Chain A
Amino acid sequence: MVRVDGLRKSYGTVEAVRGVSLDVHRGQVVVLIGPSGCGKSTFLRCLNLLETPSAGTLQVGDRTIDFGSRHSMPHGRTLARFRARIGMVFQQFDLFPHMTALKNVMSGPVIVKKMGQSEAEAIARDLLAKVGLGAFTARYPRELSGGQQQRVAIARAMAMAPEVMLFDEVTSALDPELVGEVLDVMKQLATEGTTMIVVTHEMAFARDVADWVVVMDAGQVVEQGLAEEVLLQPKNPRTASFLSRFHSTIGERKN
């Protein structure tokens, strides 16, 4: 579904991502963890080309793109079409403030896919109901709590029926009591077979939901494997030292 090979991203002389490879199969939930500044968010943003990788290969579905000086980047409509197949949810929600929750969710299908209003509205209503916001369709983002806004943002991304969903620290900007409602929606998507790549600091979520955990440090993958193996018996000392800060969270709430 998603195949990344030797992906690199540098800003001037600083290399934020230093050759990361990753394979994500249909329906798999991959969680990326690591200390802040390790390049995991940059890596995620490279996957839908919000950042242009400096080198490597990226394959999403049947589309493959090679990066590097000898290859030209897709642009314009080609780039937009590539992105349309990848959903992304951001730390700051980034809902469109001039649109209601319903219009936000309809925006992708209507503007990008040129879908008819009624068809798009039906999809949007379904998705908002699914994220528990069926009664809030007419609200503007400013009238919603952070957790509700983030759930609208998830519905907005899902409305494009993407092949894979990217989550970039989507609970980091939320008040602690609102984190759960967003994670619950993500868990639900995971159990329904949505392909997901998740950057997060929520170790309990990683433990409960992830099929595969990838640990990054200093722009590289230092360890990867099944969630329980990596989180509970890390082999790499850098993984161990990073995880030691979370051990209380990983241990508790085991179900």
Chain B
Amino acid sequence: MGYKWDFSGVYSYLNLWIKGLGVTLAYSVGTVLGGLIIGVICGMLLLYRRKWVTLPIHYYVEIFRCTPLLIQIVWFYYALPIVLNVELPAWLAAGIGLTLYMGAFSTEIFRGGIISIDKGQWQAARALGMTNGELMRHIILPQAMKRMVPPFVNQSIIQLKNTSLLYVVAVPDLMYTGSIVVADTFRPLEVYTSVGIMYFAILYPLTLWATRMEARVDQ
């Protein structure tokens, strides 16, 4: 009790906030798109029932699904340059980690969407004489994509929040900007409340839109 909230310190760093917001959005969009591409490729490859194709993908997906993202980001920042013997800038190392993480989940979403399509659709298309490419493009994907949209949007929302972990390798996103402003103003309550509100302000409209999409897909 008796704490006097004072947000004036927060506002005075408007320029920093805008930059941080830009970094957060750029990482979100970039890693979601990168992850989507990985997911489509790996998800497709999983359909080839060859062990030497599916097994590496299986391990890739599970390693990224079963370890904390924080560790992945730190690992790509500190360990990968040593392993590869190259100097990686922080923004790139962190970006690779986030992208591969999104890619792992996208792979699962993509694979799940495709195998959720009834076996009868595959056999009906084959019986008409469609090649695998034709049946994928005209019959399976149009149906599977609709089912993939809701889980993919959901994962993208999580991904946007996950970019906040970038602050551990000093990428100046919203979260890192928050920690700088805190160090300057000694107002952690106001600053982190504001950071939370900013994430909410971006994501809430997105979830509303996602719910609408889900309702459309359900039809």
**Chain A residues at the B interface, C-beta cutoff of 8 Å:** 48, 50, 76-77, 80-88, 90, 92-98, 107-108, 111-112, 153, 156-157, 160
Contact indicator A77/B124 (Cβ below 8 Å): no
Contact indicator A81/B123 (Cβ below 8 Å): no
A98 CB contacts on chain B under 8 angstroms: 142-143
Interface status of B134 (Cβ within 8 A of chain A): yes
* Candidates B123, B128, B134; contact of A156 at CB < 8 Å: B128
Contact indicator B118/A111 (Cβ below 8 Å): no
A80 CB contacts on chain B under 8 angstroms: 126, 129-131, 134
Contact indicator A88/B127 (Cβ below 8 Å): yes
Min CB–CB distance B122 → chain A (angstroms): 9
* A-B residue pairs in contact (CB < 8 Å), sample of 28: A48-B127, A50-B123, A50-B126, A76-B131, A80-B131, A80-B134, A81-B129, A82-B129, A84-B129, A85-B129, A86-B127, A90-B120, A92-B120, A94-B118, A94-B124, A95-B124, A96-B121, A96-B125, A96-B143, A98-B142, A107-B139, A108-B129, A111-B128, A111-B130, A111-B138, A153-B124, A157-B127, A157-B128
* Candidates B129, B132, B142, B143; contact of A112 at CB < 8 Å: B129
Docked complex Cα distance between A1 and B218 (Å): 45
B123 CB contacts on chain A under 8 angstroms: 50, 90, 94
Q: A90-B123, A96-B121 are in contact. Are A84 and B128 (CB under 8 A)?
A: yes
Docked complex Cα distance between A92 and B118 (Å): 11
Q: Who on chain B is nearest to A76 by CB?
A: B131
B120 CB contacts on chain A under 8 angstroms: 90, 92-94
B129 CB contacts on chain A under 8 angstroms: 80-85, 108, 112, 160
Contact indicator B143/A111 (Cβ below 8 Å): no
A83 CB contacts on chain B under 8 angstroms: 126-129
* Candidates B121, B131, B142; contact of A94 at CB < 8 Å: B121
B128 CB contacts on chain A under 8 angstroms: 83-84, 107-108, 111-112, 156-157, 160
Contact indicator B121/A112 (Cβ below 8 Å): no
Min CB–CB distance A187 → chain B (angstroms): 22
Min CB–CB distance A250 → chain B (angstroms): 30
Min CB–CB distance B121 → chain A (angstroms): 6
**Chain B residues at the A interface, C-beta cutoff of 8 Å:** 118, 120-121, 123-132, 134, 138-139, 142-143
Min CB–CB distance B145 → chain A (angstroms): 10
Knowing that A90-B127, A157-B128, A160-B128 touch, tell me 18 more A-B residue pairs with CB under 8 angstroms.
A76-B132, A77-B131, A80-B131, A81-B129, A83-B129, A84-B129, A86-B127, A90-B124, A94-B118, A94-B120, A96-B124, A97-B143, A98-B142, A98-B143, A108-B128, A111-B130, A112-B134, A157-B127
Docked complex Cα distance between A98 and B144 (Å): 11
Q: Who on chain B is nearest to A78 by CB?
A: B131
Which residue, A93, A112, A156, has most C-beta atoms of chain B within 10 A? Answer: A112
Docked complex Cα distance between A93 and B121 (Å): 9
Min CB–CB distance B24 → chain A (angstroms): 36
A81 CB contacts on chain B under 8 angstroms: 129
Q: Who on chain A is nearest to B138 by CB?
A: A111
Contact indicator A50/B127 (Cβ below 8 Å): yes
Docked complex Cα distance between A160 and B131 (Å): 15
B132 CB contacts on chain A under 8 angstroms: 76
10 nearest CB pairs, A to B: A84-B129, A94-B120, A94-B124, A88-B127, A108-B128, A112-B129, A80-B131, A83-B129, A80-B129, A111-B138
